Amino acid sequence: MKKQIEEIIIGIDFETFGSVDLRKHGLDRYASDESFTPLIVSYALPNFVGEKTLDFVLGGEQAVEEFKELLRVWARDENIVLSAHNAGFERRDLRV
């Protein structure tokens, strides 16, 4: 009998800045503008284990690299599922 492995759902949320009016011009124009930048990303681990925020402004390249490494680790684990309330927006932020 094969052991059933439960999915591990990790919630992610970005906060960003851009000078383009997102509501007026839409996501593609907002995120494509040279002023667009992710400011922070927060992620929540399952079962209320904890939440962490990485500040890309104060933490600079070190915070960005820490998040990239987390993404690499999560991508290698087939049981991990990333979840986001506004998935299209978060997906676009991950491209930056």
Per-residue pLDDT at 12: 93
Q: Which pLDDT score, from 0 to 100, does residue 3 have?
A: 63
pLDDT for 21? 96
- Listed as own residue / partner, the contacts of 27-36 with beta carbons closer than 8 Å and 24 or more positions apart are 27/88, 27/89, 27/92, 28/92, 31/92, 31/93, 31/95, 31/96, 36/96
Give the residue with greater pLDDT, 24 vs 92. Answer: 24
Over residues 24-50, mean pLDDT:
89
pLDDT tens per residue across span 44-96: 987 767 899 999 999 999 999 999 999 999 999 999 999 988 888 888 777 65
